[in-house]
Structure 1
Amino acid sequence: MTETRQPLISSARHSPMTDEQRKSLALAYLKAFDRGGKTVEGIPLLDLFADDAQVYFPKWGLADGKAEIGRMFADVGGTLRAITHHYADFNWVFSGTDTVVCEGSSHGEHRDGPWRADLPAWGAGRFCDVFEIRDWLIQRCFIYLDPDYAGRDVARYPWISR
């Protein structure tokens, strides 16, 4: 049996979405980072967002609207040489409304050095993204992670040096 797949950006913007469809859009967003800013289908990352969307990233703050989101992604992305998300290990939480949560891990190369989740155990690489997705667009994405990818900010945390 062939499954009918809804496009990532639908012409039926106001049709109800299932949790699986929201998950698909969130996954397309995460995969776009691994592919340099474009989805597998070649859609630019920013096209996955509503015009008035909000994105939060630690140490950057809240970006309102596509223009600011683009600046934020350029600022943060400019510090990364490569990133790979570990899709097989993602945990997904659905609220029964528009909210989807993805907890996961990654590895990559920051301008200050490499990182991999759990190497060391206290280091970067684990994240939790909270999405609000409706009308086939990301309305809100709050990203929770340690932005010290290379693990250089250790002096302020005495338990690391023990």
Structure 2
Amino acid sequence: MALTMETMTDEQRKSVAVEYLKAFDNGGKTSSGGSILDLFADDAQVFFPKWGLASGKDEIGKLFGDVGDTLKSISHHYAHFNWIFSGSDVIVCEGTSHGEHRDGPWRAGVPAWGAGNWCDVFEIRDWKIQRVYIYLDPDYAGQDTARYPWLKSRV
């Protein structure tokens, strides 16, 4: 991680996080037409469930490619985000989404136990994402029900 060069406000950090989420909705392209990877520090880290920890832009690109290859579309519900600011470089965003996975569509709340609810923990410094841990159910299409006895009566 690089030394801190600029002081950022929480709203500025939030703007970087929103740009990151909108890039997913736009097939990996930022609002200026650049790559989502442009939003990351060279030595950034990203965690995604069932994939693990990616370190550096090359691994992050592989993670996003692997996950992205399973998605036909995704839309985040920006009006419903909950933001938590820590007073440091860390911010948290809790939200919902809908879209289409190669195994089928999903929408937060349909069904209530399914995919679409998520929480991201960001560390943003010097206008770059240093770290983001993504917490969600990667079974977007809700097909992994056999291993959960409480879902058998709901499917």
TM-score normalised to the size of structure 2?
0.95
Q: Match for 1:124 among 99, 115, 120?
A: 115
**Structure 2: runs of 5+ lacking an equivalent:** none
Q: C-alpha offsets along residues 128-152 of structure 1, whole Å, 9 cap, x if unaligned?
A: 0000000110000000000000000
Inter-partner Cα distance in structure 2 for 1:72 and 1:84: 19
Q: C-alpha offsets along residues 50-105 of structure 1, whole Å, 9 cap, x if unaligned?
A: 00000000000000000000000000000000000000000000000000100000
1:160 shift after superposition:
0.9
Inter-partner Cα distance in structure 2 for 1:44 and 1:73: 11
Which residue in 1 is equivalent to 2:142?
151
Q: 2:80 corresponds to which letter in structure 1? A: D
TM-score normalised to the size of structure 1?
0.91
1:14 shift after superposition:
1.6
2:63 corresponds to 1:63: no
Inter-partner Cα distance in structure 2 for 1:75 and 1:36: 13
2:97 corresponds to 1:106: yes
Q: How many residues align?
A: 150
Which residue in 1 is equivalent to 2:152?
161
SS in 2 for 1:20: helix
SS in 2 for 1:122: coil
Which residue in 2 is equivalent to 1:24?
15
Inter-partner Cα distance in structure 2 for 1:161 and 1:15: 52
Inter-partner Cα distance in structure 2 for 1:113 and 1:62: 26
**Structure 1: runs of 5+ lacking an equivalent:** 1-12
Q: Extract structure 1 runs of 4+ deviating beyond 3 A.
A: none
Q: 1:41 corresponds to which letter in structure 2? A: S
